[in-house]
Amino acid sequence: MKKLLTVMAAFLTLAMIAAACGSSSSGTTVDTTAAVDAAEDARAVAEQAAADAKAEAESAMADAEAAKADAEAAKAEAEEANSRADNAEASAGEMEESLPMAGEVVRVTGPERSAEEWNAIESAMIPFEEATGAEVIYTGSADWEAEINVQIAAGNPPDISIFPQPGKLADFAREGSVMPLTDDAYEVATKNWSEAQISFGEVDGDFYGMPVKNDLKSIVWHKPAVFEDNGYDIPQTWDELIELTDTMIADGITPWCVGIESGQATGWVFTDWTEDLVLRDLGPEAYDDWVSNDLKFDSPEIKAIFEKILGLWNTPDAVFASGGSISSTHFASGPAEGLAADDCAMVRQASFFASFYEGDSSEIDVFYFPSNSPDEKPVMGGGNLTGAFNDRDATWAVMEYMGSPDYANARQVAQRENKGGGISGFNTANLNADKSLWSPLGQGFVTIMQEAEVFRFDGSDLMPADVGAGEFWTQATAMVNGESDIDTAAAAIDAAWPDS
């Protein structure tokens, strides 16, 4: 507006000058020249004012167009943001539909607690968690046997627990603390496990346990190089094993590493030796009678086996115990350290022993814990079953997953990686597990358990918990420590059996 007034003033000035020039009839040349100059100056001012006004108008128009463009860009950005939000909401809805257990937490407890085992169990749960959205938390403890009793008594059990003793699972089943398998869970079990393995979870005609892990127990760990360097042959019978023991002692080599310390479970290694010898010396039928209490601990047959074990362990220079005594030496890590350091030549321990061996796994091997005849090779093993303490959908989903080959394969991969390759210490009799994931030695363990003609589950684990996981362990420790004689210990174990 200011520019427009300036232009109008310039035109008025020019008009006044022109009128003045026209009304003068006798002006001089000087006056005419001055008038012309003034008119030109006014014209120049007007033209500049017009140019400035045009420039200002064009600038204002450009600003308006830029503002319009910014507004359109902001609108487009807002629409895109809204679209992204809509897509995110839709994706969240789809994810919620594909992860039906999102937000669910399932707590699992058990006795497996080494770093390799604990981490492998948690790693094996990752595929399940990613597929379902549920979170599975595992807690392992050396005192699991005592802790699960306290949790049950307090009314605060985990969702699932891993039972190394079917007898303890049976006790809880009869108390109504654990749930029988659902139809879907039982179908998973029958699809992936042999009848023998599933039968360990049967209680009074119903099935309560899902098999998840197995251990081969009838084996002896050794270093082949030590045997070769000293000219030792692999014993084929019990008598040859005792002869080898005596030869090693004479050569200045300690034959055995033995430890039975295991927290609240101290003593179970002695029960394993007992079970293997009952199966060999008395046969599978007598073994079953003993497990069912038809053959008493106080019988001459069972007491003779106690004497056989204690006689070997108490032979001078026959046993190395890194903890100072057999009862204060850890059941696996102690013997593993002793074998690695050549403090002994042999360890009778289950297939999981490999997970405790810190040396080069390629330097160790196993041979069959010999029977009385090279033609008789009964197999004794153990294993873990899961039991569910509630009827939640998420709980049963985890139970079914742990009984599947997917869990077995995932755990084997993780545990073998944790061990740096070689022997993982984890074994399974799952019929559909991928055996190629195991080392050659591990594949042999799996095959033996799947195909054994005479296979018996760990006897003390099948007995009622107060017996097999109670007085048997207690009295075994007392006998090893010299605090109780065989007759007293056997009578005490028999007295612990519940009234039928």
Mean pLDDT of 360-384: 92
Look at residue 355 and tell me whether its pLDDT is greater than 70.
yes
pTM of the model: 0.70
Q: What is the pLDDT of residues 203-258, one digit of tens each?
A: 999 999 999 999 999 999 999 999 999 999 999 999 999 999 999 999 999 999 99
pLDDT of residue 13: 41
pLDDT band at 64 (very low <50, low <70, confident <90, very high): low
Look at residue 2 and tell me whether its pLDDT is greater than 60.
no
Residue 206 main-chain phi, psi, to 5 deg: -115, 160
Mean pLDDT of 291-304: 97
Mean pLDDT of 446-469: 88
pLDDT of residue 53: 62
Q: What is the pLDDT of residues 85-111, one digit of tens each?
A: 565 554 444 444 579 899 999 999 999
Listed in sequence order, the DSSP H helices in 193-267 are: 195-199, 224-230, 238-250
Buried b / exposed e along 63-96 (16+ C-beta atoms within 10 A): eeeeeeeeeeeeeeeeeeeeeeeeeeeeeeeeee
pLDDT of residue 71: 64
Which of 4-8, 133-137, 192-196, 222-226 is predicted least confidently? 4-8
Which of 113-127, 174-188, 435-449 is predicted least confidently? 435-449
pLDDT of residue 350: 95
pLDDT higher at 276 or 425: 276
- Partner residues linked to 383 by β-bridges: 214
- Nearest CA to 183 out of 383, 431, 391, 386 is that of 391
Mean pLDDT of 428-450: 90
Helix and strand numbers (H, E) in the chain are: 20, 13
pLDDT of residue 450: 77
Average pLDDT of the chain? 88
**Taking the CB of residue 456, how many other CB atoms lie within 10 A of it?**
22
Pairing of strands 135-140, 105-110: parallel
pLDDT of residue 45: 67
What's the CA angle centered on 105, arms 102 and 106, to 5 degrees? 125
The CATH code belonging to domain 216-495 is 3.40.190.10
pLDDT of residue 61: 67
CA dist 109 and 104 (Å) reads 17
- Nearest CA to 246 out of 260, 266, 232 is that of 232
pLDDT of residue 83: 64
Look at residue 131 and tell me whether its pLDDT is greater than 50.
yes
Which of 18-27, 85-94, 292-301 is predicted least confidently? 18-27
Q: How many residues does the chain have?
A: 500
Which of 42-46, 361-365, 384-388 is predicted least confidently? 42-46
Specify the residue for token string 């029958």: 190
Helix (H, G, I), strand (E, B) or coil at 495: helix
Q: Give Dmax (Cα) for the chain.
A: 164
pLDDT band at 21 (very low <50, low <70, confident <90, very high): very low
Specify the residue for token string 């060999």: 280
Look at residue 451 and tell me whether its pLDDT is greater than 50.
yes
Helix (H, G, I), strand (E, B) or coil at 223: coil
What whole-number percentage of the chain has pLDDT above 90?
70
pLDDT of residue 295: 98
What whole-number percentage of the chain has pLDDT above 70?
84
CA dist 300 and 489 (Å) reads 13
pLDDT of residue 297: 98
Look at residue 42 and tell me whether its pLDDT is greater than 80.
no
Three-class SS string for 136-164? EEEEECCCHHHHHHHHHHCCCCCCEEEEC
Mean pLDDT of 77-82: 68
Look at residue 37 and tell me whether its pLDDT is greater than 90.
no
pLDDT higher at 68 or 26: 68
- Which whole-number Å values give the CA distances from 439 to 407, 414, 416, 451, in the listed order? 18, 14, 9, 18
pLDDT higher at 18 or 357: 357
pLDDT higher at 150 or 45: 150
pLDDT higher at 88 or 78: 78
